Amino acid sequence: MQHFTSVQDVADPMVLVKKALAIKKDPFANKALGLNKTLGLLFFNSSLRTRMSSQKAASNLGMDVIVMNVTQDSWQIEMEDGVVMNGGTAEHIREAAAVMGQYCDILGVRSFPSLSDRDADYSEKIMNAFKAHAGCPIVSLESATLHPLQSLADLITIAEFKKVEKPKVVLTWAPHIKSLPQAVPNSFAQWLTQTDYDFTIAQPEGFELSEQFTKGAKIEHNQEAALKGADFVYVKNWSSFHDYGKVGTNGDWLVNQAKLANTNEAKVMHCLPVRRNVVIADDVLDSEHSIVIPQAGNRVYSAQAVFQEILEAHG
Ligand code: CP
């Protein structure tokens, strides 16, 4: 594995899921693999799970970790090429990424979209700049359009909890008060369509995701119909892709116990953080349906499987 920024960097997603599950059984077995290796974690945006699980995964592999909250702790970085830097930016990404690559064996980067300029967001300028200039493997800690470490953890969780060989998995849109990225649902769709699971995406009209990620999924605009017989219900808000960044507040799409009545005793997933009683009701989050905590726990083994693949490939 050279970089890890989408499912396309993975030879076989289900083989990586099996590797993560084996790591989970014996997390310290490869403590020597990361000896004298350094993981850099760069955050342009907030994080709880990604930051802590990546640090723990690196520690399990014996790696040292440097964490930087880029927008607070570093110089303001210029992303555009060919500009006269006589404004607020003090250092160009070409030097910043290259220097960080001198200090680190793997760099993790989190950079959210603006949600105001779709073409710019979907060009993945920041992630691609790190790939071009850092000179070391880059791991996405959530980019403008994708969150592959989350999706790998999601597949690990489904593999652990599934009761049938090919479960019905439904990704359902839910309301929110803010404009949120499409990265988690894009990525989940991209990974799920690589499996042989029965996969449906449910969303109100106007909240369809980019077809580049959903090709192969069934699409529904009726949440009740979509949820019928589901084994897993993955709940997530996203802002509109087509009316780019538009917030969706339709409370009819909140997921509560009543919505689960016609499912196959579905397990409910969410990447977290989740706004209770806006996105998912208390009566689901506090019930046996919810597997959001073990799902978040699996972020450690998702990150550890990816770091281990990269360390094994690069020596
Ligand atoms: N799910 C997830 O990526 O959580 P954080 O934003 O807290 O890292």
Residue nearest to atom 4 of ligand 1 (CA): 49
Q: Is 53 in the pocket of ligand 1 (CB under 6 A)?
A: no
- Model confidence over 45-73: pLDDT tens digits? 999 999 999 999 999 999 999 999 998 98
Ligand 1 site-directed mutation target among 49, 52, 149, 188, most atoms within 8 Å of CB: 49
Q: Is 110 in the pocket of ligand 1 (CB under 6 A)?
A: no
- pLDDT at residue 315 tops 90: no
Q: Ligand 1 centroid vs 89 CA: distance in angstroms? A: 27
> Residue 169 pairs with which residues in a beta bridge?
199, 232
- pLDDT at residue 115 tops 90: yes
- pLDDT tier, 194 (very low <50, low <70, confident <90, very high otherwise): very high
Residues 6+ apart with CB under 8 A from 82: none
Average pLDDT on 238-244 reads: 98
Q: What pLDDT score was predicted for residue 103?
A: 98
* Mean pLDDT computed over every residue of the chain: 97
Q: Ligand 1 centroid vs 142 CA: distance in angstroms? A: 8
Q: Ligand 1 centroid vs 262 CA: distance in angstroms? A: 30
- pLDDT at residue 141 tops 80: yes
Ligand 1 site-directed mutation target among 271, 293, 295, most atoms within 8 Å of CB: 271
Q: What is the DSSP string of the chain?
A: ---BSSGGG-S-HHHHHHHHHHHHHSTTTTTTTTTT-EEEEEESS--SHHHHHHHHHHHHTT-EEEEEEHHHHSPPEE-STT----SS--EEHHHHHHHHHHH-SEEEEE----SS-HHHHHTTHHHHHHHHHS-S-EEESS-SS--HHHHHHHHHHHHHH-SSSS-EEEEEE---SS---SHHHHHHHHHHTTSSSEEEEE--TT-PPPHHHHTTSEEES-HHHHHTT-SEEEEE----TTTTT-----GGG-B-GGGGTTSSS-EEE--S---BTTTB-HHHHTSTTB-HHHHHHTHHHHHHHHHHHHHHHH-
Q: Is 236 in the pocket of ligand 1 (CB under 6 A)?
A: no
Q: What pLDDT score was predicted for residue 299?
A: 98
Task: Write down the pTM of the prediction.
Answer: 0.98
- pLDDT at residue 86 tops 90: yes
Q: Which atom of ligand 1 is nearest to the CA of 142?
A: 3
Average pLDDT on 152-174 reads: 98
Structural domains present in the chain: 7-146+299-314 (3.40.50.1370), 150-296 (3.40.50.1370)
- pLDDT at residue 279 tops 80: yes
- pLDDT tier, 144 (very low <50, low <70, confident <90, very high otherwise): very high
Q: What pLDDT score was predicted for residue 304?
A: 98
Average pLDDT on 199-220 reads: 97
Q: Ligand 1 centroid vs 155 CA: distance in angstroms? A: 16
